[in-house]
Amino acid sequence: MAIRTGQEYIQSLRGRNLKVYLFGELVKEPVDHPMIRPSINAVAETYDLAVREEELAAPMSKISGKRVNRFLHIAESAQDLVLQNKMQRKLGQLTGTCFQRCVGMDALNSLHSVTFEIDEKYHTNYHKNLLDFIRKMQEENLVIGGAMTDVKGDRSKAPSEQIDEDLFLHVVKRTPEGVYVTGAKAHQTGCINSHWIIVMPTIRLLEKDKDWAIVGAIPVDAPGITYIYGRQSCDTRSMEEGDIDSGNSKFAGQEAMIIFDNVFIPNNLIFMNGEYEFAAMLVERFTCYHRRSYVCKTGLGDVLIGAAAAIADYNGIPDVSHIRDKLVEMTHLNESIYAAGISSSYQAQEMKSGVWLNDDMLANVCKHNVTRFPYEISRLAQDIAGGIVVTMPSEKDFRHPVTGPLLKKYLAGRKGVDVENRMRILRLIENMTLGRNAVGYLTESMHGAGSPQAQRIQIARQMQLGYKKKLAKSLANVKEDAEDTPENSDYFKRVFKLR
């Protein structure tokens, strides 16, 4: 029976016998571990939102003919991509953290067009394999994690040139039934909370790297997989009594390293196998989708702006001019991120396979803004909150019969404000800007979907300086090639063509 609610999803994760290591120990049941459970709750919210708001989060799919979770949906129009962004912002608002399903969604959509074009060239069956897999995922309503980032070793060398060839995931054995892969994937968002993982190459590949050109779907509990859980700042606070010090006791993100040791992928779950020249296409299309997906950070930004406004109110200074100006600046930066991302979705184009791909330039502008603006929003939130955001005593001190009354007396804000509520908002600001969920709001904003230089490279490739020079020369009445007009450029035809 298909999973429907968040609670049913949580139940589906039990008893899988995953090999998960945390603090040097094997975790018996990840669902019940207090450090892991908040990240599971965040994924569960993606199910409950689809139940509450079908139009936003549960579209009809042409593949299965059913209403499906949008994280499993192949974009059938530009509007589908716009609704992805609106759903992502809403989930950021609801959880205040990373809800972990965007990578899988963007992997499915990028593979839809790439497998179609590989089949066109080589008469393979990858696209059918993918459609069959998507149909199964939609019918059972499962979570897919995308695994692209290899550990990389010496960054100056190609996969085949590494001293240890396992530093990039690769095929170690081929059989008539499928392939076996070995390697590792780092920084894997929500991998333990997923049902399936799609492995993909992380960089452009050459012919000598054919064994590293592998894409396939693997169950998270497949034999040969080991997970090593990643630390997050202040993460052990979720193991303490009480819920104030964690800042966000219900929701958190998740990152882990995945070690693959001779893990089998059957032929029907392989979507690329040696077609090295398509690796760059896959990476570029995936990052096009995924860099625009970072509008999710505007939902977290909404929460942090709200927290900053709340603490200003609790401190009795909500209408002081410099406080209002900082809140305006935070809002301006947050909406600038959203504007670039959703514009990218609105300017989508249909691919040969039928999937819609958003505008690449605007996607990279969106992500480049994300590498900067959340840091400034966080700085302003800390500015408004004051130094107490990093020096506040613990909840245990607040509950203590001796220190508790002292803290209630000396941590008071304006009249009528409950001191505990003031503490909770301060801890939330700490959580999002310095603590556990700073991973999802700050560091992930910097490095997720590629570091800042990766976006600058793509922006440079698409600056269209030739087209822009033509615009200038035309207005300046510069006489050169009579046919060399802006309207005759490929850029003009692509961007401004009528649909």
Tell me which residues are annotated as active site.
98, 102, 189, 255, 290, 294, 296, 444
Q: How far apart are CA 18 and CA 429, in angstroms?
A: 34
Asked whether 64 and 142 are in contact (CB, 8 A), the reply is no
**Nearest alpha carbon to residue 40 among 73, 15, 6:** 6
Q: Token pair 């303490």 is at which residue?
A: 240
Q: Token pair 């440079």 is at which residue?
A: 460
Q: How far apart are CA 162 and CA 281, in angstroms?
A: 23
The H or E element that residue 22 is part of is strand 20-22
Q: At what angle do helices 78-95 and 37-52 cross, to 10 degrees?
A: 130
Q: How far apart are CA 310 and CA 294, in angstroms?
A: 25
332: left (phi over 0), alpha (psi -120 to 50) or beta: alpha
Burial class (CB in 10 A: 0-12, 13-18, 19+), 373: buried
Asked whether 95 and 302 are in contact (CB, 8 A), the reply is no
Which regions of 112-248 does DSSP assign to beta strands (E)?
144-147, 170-175, 178-189, 196-199, 214-219, 225-229
Q: DSSP alpha helices (H): ranges in 123-260?
A: 126-140
Rounded to 5 degrees, what angle do the CA atoms 188, 436, 441 make?
70
**Nearest alpha carbon to residue 310 among 410, 388, 381:** 381
Rounded to 5 degrees, what angle do the CA atoms 382, 43, 215 make?
110
Contact residues for 56 (Cβ-Cβ < 8 A; gap 6+): 49, 70, 83, 86, 87, 90
**Nearest alpha carbon to residue 167 among 191, 151, 182:** 151
Bridge partners, 146 (sequence order): 198
Q: What count of Cα atoms within 13 Å lies in the side-chain half-sphere of residue 243?
A: 7
